[in-house]
Structure 1
């Protein structure tokens, strides 16, 4: 979408001149050499960060990745790769051999002892001989052409644990069809060892001209020897429609489509999926369609408009956008819908359904073309960004407008205001420098509000030494939300995402489940299982025995320190201990009592988390089975099998099979009752009850978090003069991390691992 640019050229010129005047002397006059590109990126990033979380400068790499994401395609081999935390010994051996070659090449010709020799330590290689390489390595550099520091940095240093590269995904039609699988440990790319290379470096090695080939050597758990495959580089199209099929029996006539994003190719993919469902419908015809938008982060506005046009009447307004310098534009459907109006439609949403996905959801809801089945509200991103190309293949992504659904509501859930520092309020001297420019010792300031006080930040008052110069944000309160009407007269509200017409309460992710997944326990155990077992087409009949073995494996790794059950609360517990110790530093016995209490709290939390093995066995078994299936099955088959465990899909099927119930949801009277009931529930619920970290499971089944956190010894409690010295659960920050959807059954999981998409981030 194109946006209007500011037309004040005078201001632009003066701003640029002002910037050059202020900063131009830094690169040449600073006491140390300055990386001007890094300095520029830092300055621009900090400046734009003060506006909102979506306005940002895209450097060369980021701009390239953004273009690939928007296009929905890139050149490569179809692999998703990440750092291998547990590389096989073969990977370590090849890296060690490469280091030896480099170090040998860098020795002086006269074999004199160089300055590096004294820092090297003996290295004992594995007794297992290194097998013959599948392809010759590049010749080691000659002494006359020494390796550069950047080249040497790619290889492990003596005494450091080496890492490798592991496959996290193999696309069907590309690397998967060539034989690559999730969990494969890459050893070499074109004969060059990949140990201690970053995913970005390996990504660049896998890239090349279209139709060229690249040889990849890898090790697979449970398979002897070094494997090798030749991959052909192609234009890889990343599908946004991950799956389309019929649910249950085809005679039921209920189709299913899972849409993961809105790129330039999404509309064509959706059209193909709908046509396939229509062409393969039973004699009675297509009765209903389930469109899964859970976890869909959005994408292109035009793509959202095109996809909504597949379902809404011709001429309907789908969305409008308007900003300060962005003249209101209304986007309407210009074609007849592909889906017949008589076919029922259900959209699946959750808290991670955002942006363009909310445009589609809002249009379907406001035009009464379908029913929203979800976990509550969607993300609530009602802002439009424009991407403007800049010199040197960089780009600027900035917010230009807000969008509005057909009923006129903006579903943006957070108000952003400009942060940063006003020069009138900023001191020209730093806190550790006097007015004459002479450095002074740091002084403790026990008077006045802290510069990092949350209330001060909300009020926009910052001091020059405040390093947090980000945008200011406030959630839109319930009292600020306005009521609108759909085309059929149902009541809907703005300011908080798209609210589900039918709400499904899913099992919440337990602390144990989050802990195990965030530390890669499921993935790692799937590797262990693959070493000693054979996958024979199904895993469900064996899952009870596998789960029992998995519990023992986890507990052993907890004892060895490889898995930490208190990882969710480690930083908060440390902060709590520091806070309590500050109450009386002089009393050593009190300090020891605090340490003992905190340690006891860690142990109590670990015990509670272990109990989740029983309380949440069903969900953990699903995760474990899915982790194993990832190593053997294509994504489409694995996703299809997981649908049988999805309660939201089951709810959608029941709704589509009951026409009276489906129509009742779309009637204004039922919708009005639902809205009033939801508003009453929101008013009755206290913030403390909503924010309690472990309130996800009934109190009768789980010890209250307050009892665990604040159940320290009486001595520690009394030392502070009573309960008032302890922060509330909300103030102490003892909450579960933010969640995002990726578990079987539509549940949520913490995302902490960064991946590199087959030669391109996405």
Structure 2
């Protein structure tokens, strides 16, 4: 009898809990329906009575974007006219000319021409100002989207009217549009006798194939050690990250696990193919802009002790997005899960589910981080990106270098230099002479730019505090003397920080001659993370000790 009562009680409790769940579900659906009805009636009233005509598409898009922004930065809505941009983001392909156009002082300037594209073949140059596109004067049409005008069907022509530095009048160029593929690996090559380098900048649909091709070619050139650079890589497709990891770890090895609300979607992804190489020493370069798929690759390499990470802590994006098809050819990219790498850690740094009272989000506190272990037993932590094995402090640009770059003066002088010098040495060998640097200093002295150093800012704060607290009269003479002493001179700073400014200038100039590859090769000599990688490869005892967790 007691067992019967227990069974009845259990059944009653279960039925009650199911009823409660059903009630909560019904309540949620009711709230959704109620709020959608409120939204529809509000929109109807706006449309009927607002003093000016409203654009329904723009209004709805604005409201959707604001709603999704309250969740996280990665859940996004793509309207029908944005689908082409979405496809470019995922595939790295678009129909156009292959040039990066930017706005400088209300001018449309060619900032980069990509190698092998219609833009390069047509003779378009970095620094050209675009005046007209197919006869449309874009200087007078402020609402014109230059990028959309340049895109179009393959094998159609677009006529550009450009103003080039040093030319008296405009030039007309005819460019035949084609499929432009933005490469995931803009550069790879040998950087020493036995060290290969692969620069991985994205994870679109061909990323794995590009890395595999680069790796095999470098092996054929005698590569015995590899530097894989994922700095400034924002991530991309999860399957590409898995396949790239598979190049260096055994088949069937766990790569990443996703866990979210829909348990049926939770999955552990493993390496599906035989690896290309399980032995080659690897250094992965990371920084604070290495995110998502880039963190999977670097985290997996670290978790399996397959290579040494050098640089700065990664961004900390451990969220997975899934694309859902909506009505009228629109799409929703929605965060559906968090990912966990083989050690068990999730490297998501920002807790979007718990916002501060002001609506901001904060990173996960150190006290809430959990310790995990790599395959060899090294301790690693979750909750804040991937911390490299060898940390290199990020370089902070000096105020003068920052000002020259932000004002576009480094770029402008490179355009001038390219016009005046038909050829230069290969990017790795190119250096400005002292006389050429002085020519730049003289030119810059006639340009408009200025900056405030941190010391000057601190003195300004001290002066304000002194006035507020009635001490200014007592220390004003000392403050005046300090101000005079630390007041910056642009000419003096040009010499004090010559190495930094000249390096920026040389890299920019090399890029104008040799495009993306030139920019990369010109940076090798002064890249602190790359130097640390090469130094580590020269001391394989230290490399091995690092992988074993020895200090």
For this structure pair, what is the TM-score category when the shorter chain's length is used for normalisation? 0.7 to 0.9
Tell me which residue corresponds to 2:184: 240
| Residue of 32, 37, 43 corresponding to 1:17 | 37
| Residue of 69, 73, 84 corresponding to 2:89 | 69
Matched, 1:171 2:114: yes
Which structure dedicates a bigger proportion of its chain to strand? 2
Deviation at residue 241 of structure 1 after TM alignment:
0.4
Tell me which residue corresponds to 2:103: 83
**What do residues 48-69 of structure 1 show as CA deviations (whole Å, max 9, x unaligned)?**
2222232333334544312211
In the TM superposition, what are the counterparts of 1:300-379 in structure 2 within 5 Å?
300-326=237-263, 327-338=265-276, 340-374=277-311, 376-379=312-315
Matched, 1:298 2:235: yes
Q: Structure 1 residues 600, 382: closer, same or farther in 2, change over 3 A?
A: farther
| Residue of 510, 513, 537 corresponding to 2:425 | 537
In the TM superposition, what are the counterparts of 1:599-618 in structure 2 within 5 Å?
607=488, 612-618=493-499
TM-score (norm 1): 0.62
Distance across 2 between alignment mates of 1:601 and 1:17: 66
Deviation at residue 325 of structure 1 after TM alignment:
3.1
Matched, 1:213 2:101: no
TM-score (norm 2): 0.84
Distance across 1 between alignment mates of 2:482 and 2:82: 43
Deviation at residue 228 of structure 1 after TM alignment:
3.4
| 5+ long unaligned stretches in structure 2 | 1-24
Which structure dedicates a bigger proportion of its chain to helix? 2
Tell me which residue corresponds to 1:479: 367
Give the match's secondary structure for 1:634.
helix
Q: Structure 1 residues 61, 302: closer, same or farther in 2, change over 3 A?
A: same
Q: Structure 1 residues 216, 385: closer, same or farther in 2, change over 3 A?
A: same
**What do residues 302-324 of structure 1 show as CA deviations (whole Å, max 9, x unaligned)?**
22112111111111111111123
Matched, 1:268 2:212: no
Give the match's secondary structure for 1:399.
strand
Contact 2:453–2:488, Cα closer than 8 Å, also in 1: no
Q: Structure 1 residues 634, 58: closer, same or farther in 2, change over 3 A?
A: same
Deviation at residue 649 of structure 1 after TM alignment:
1.8
Distance across 2 between alignment mates of 1:597 and 1:612: 24
Tell me which residue corresponds to 1:428: none
Contact 1:222–1:530, Cα closer than 8 Å, also in 2: no
**What do residues 703-750 of structure 1 show as CA deviations (whole Å, max 9, x unaligned)?**
xxxxxxxxxxxxxxxxxxxxxxxxxxxxxxxxxxxxxxxxxxxxxxxx
Q: Structure 1 residues 531, 341: closer, same or farther in 2, change over 3 A?
A: closer
**What do residues 119-171 of structure 1 show as CA deviations (whole Å, max 9, x unaligned)?**
xxxxxxxxxxxxxxxxxxxxxxxxxxxxxxxxxxxxxxxxxxxx432111111
> CA-atom RMSD, angstroms?
3.5
In the TM superposition, what are the counterparts of 1:140-539 in structure 2 within 5 Å?
163-174=106-117, 175-197=119-141, 201-223=145-167, 225-249=169-193, 252=194, 254-278=195-219, 280-282=220-222, 286-326=223-263, 327-338=265-276, 340-374=277-311, 376-417=312-353, 458=356, 460=357, 471-505=359-393, 507-537=395-425
Distance across 1 between alignment mates of 2:479 and 2:102: 35
Give the match's secondary structure for 1:312.
coil
Q: Structure 1 residues 537, 383: closer, same or farther in 2, change over 3 A?
A: same
Distance across 2 between alignment mates of 1:214 and 1:598: 61
Matched, 1:552 2:490: no
Q: Structure 1 residues 336, 542: closer, same or farther in 2, change over 3 A?
A: same
Distance across 2 between alignment mates of 1:601 and 1:396: 57
Give the match's secondary structure for 2:186.
strand
**What do residues 539-594 of structure 1 show as CA deviations (whole Å, max 9, x unaligned)?**
8443422322222333332xxxx32324999999999999999x79xx9xx9xxxx
Matched, 1:52 2:52: no
Distance across 2 between alignment mates of 1:43 and 1:573: 45
Contact 1:512–1:610, Cα closer than 8 Å, also in 2: no
Distance across 2 between alignment mates of 1:200 and 1:336: 50
In the TM superposition, what are the counterparts of 1:641-652 in structure 2 within 5 Å?
641-652=522-533
Deviation at residue 508 of structure 1 after TM alignment:
2.8
In the TM superposition, what are the counterparts of 1:726-741 in structure 2 within 5 Å?
none
Give the match's secondary structure for 2:424.
coil
Q: Structure 1 residues 323, 383: closer, same or farther in 2, change over 3 A?
A: same
Q: Structure 1 residues 603, 50: closer, same or farther in 2, change over 3 A?
A: farther
Contact 1:187–1:193, Cα closer than 8 Å, also in 2: yes
Distance across 2 between alignment mates of 1:622 and 1:187: 32
Q: Structure 1 residues 612, 483: closer, same or farther in 2, change over 3 A?
A: farther
| 5+ long unaligned stretches in structure 1 | 1-5, 86-162, 420-457, 463-470, 591-595, 674-762
Contact 1:417–1:472, Cα closer than 8 Å, also in 2: no
Give the match's secondary structure for 1:630.
helix
Deviation at residue 193 of structure 1 after TM alignment:
3.2
Give the match's secondary structure for 2:535.
helix
Contact 1:176–1:634, Cα closer than 8 Å, also in 2: no
Distance across 2 between alignment mates of 1:569 and 1:79: 40
**What do residues 631-660 of structure 1 show as CA deviations (whole Å, max 9, x unaligned)?**
222322442243233232222223234332
In the TM superposition, what are the counterparts of 1:644-723 in structure 2 within 5 Å?
644-668=525-549, 670=550, 673=551
* Structure possessing the higher relative contact order (Cα contacts under 8 Å, 6 or more residues apart): 1
Q: Structure 1 residues 274, 540: closer, same or farther in 2, change over 3 A?
A: closer
Provide the aligned length of Structure 1 versus Structure 2. Answer: 521
Q: Structure 1 residues 205, 46: closer, same or farther in 2, change over 3 A?
A: closer
Tell me which residue corresponds to 1:564: 450
Tell me which residue corresponds to 1:733: none
Distance across 2 between alignment mates of 1:352 and 1:600: 42
Give the match's secondary structure for 2:445.
helix
Tell me which residue corresponds to 1:130: none
Give the match's secondary structure for 2:162.
strand
Distance across 2 between alignment mates of 1:380 and 1:208: 37
